[in-house]
Amino acid sequence: MPIYAFECTSCGHAFDRLQKLSDADPTQCPTCGAPDVRRQVTAPAFRLAGGGWYETDFKKDGDRKRNLAGDAAAKPETKSEPAAAPAPATPKPAATAD
Query: Is 74 in contact with 66 (CB distance < 8 Å)?
Result: no
CB atoms within 10 A of CB 8: 21
According to the model, what pLDDT value does residue 15 have?
95
pLDDT higher than 90, residue 60: no
Per-residue pLDDT at 38: 95
H or E segment and range at residue 16: strand 14-18
**Residue 45: predicted pLDDT:** 74
Spatial distance between the Cα atoms of 98 and 95, rounded to a whole number of angstroms:
9
Contact 37, 8 (CB under 8 A): yes
Q: How confident is the model at residue 33 (pLDDT cuts 50, 70, 90)?
A: very high
Instruction: Give the HSE-up count for residue 2: Cα atoms under 13 Å, Cβ half-sphere.
Output: 14
Mean pLDDT of 7-30: 94
Whether the pLDDT of residue 64 is over 90: the answer is no
